[in-house]
Amino acid sequence: MTESNHHVAWADRIGINKQWARDIEACSDSYGTRTYHHMVRRFKNNIPNINEGPDLHDMIDEYEQELFNNEYEQLLTQWMTNNPQEAENESYILQKEDEIRMHLNEKLYRFIIQLLEDHGFGFYKSKIDEMTDKMI
């Protein structure tokens, strides 16, 4: 039986996995704050379309469009319908909009993480001697 170990995917060779790790940590650290939105955006913008591979950035853009165009409007409209008195107060509306954006950014972040995992940009099994041979 050949011994195998876990190695980071090809992307780590150009440092992108390290950047993604920093982005994930920044998202985690900023969760629940006003900067969370910016950290999720930074993470998203650090994900390219892969040459001769999946168009990751385009997939994320499509999902984001759906979230922030359709779901945002649905959630805000539903809240305004269910809370007509608060919906007349600008500060309540702004607060609700912030809550909705936070919720949608959480969904976007989870989508990005799952997308990377689904396309093999996490860890994979390989034979250690094959990897060593390729690096020589």
Contact 19, 115 (CB under 8 A): no
Residue-wise pLDDT tens digits, 77-124: 999 999 999 999 999 999 999 999 999 999 999 999 999 999 887 654
Of 131, 126, 11, the C-alpha closest to 23 is 11
How many Å apart are CA 12 and CA 90, to the nearest integer? 47
Which residue has tokens 């379309």? 49
The pLDDT value given to residue 58: 96
pLDDT band at 13 (very low <50, low <70, confident <90, very high): low
Which whole-number Å values give the CA distances from 132 to 8, 14, 26, 97, 125, in the listed order? 13, 17, 32, 52, 14
Torsion sign across C-alpha atoms 107, 58, 39, 93: negative
Q: Which helix (H) or strand (E) holds 46?
A: none
pLDDT average, residue stretch 21-38: 95
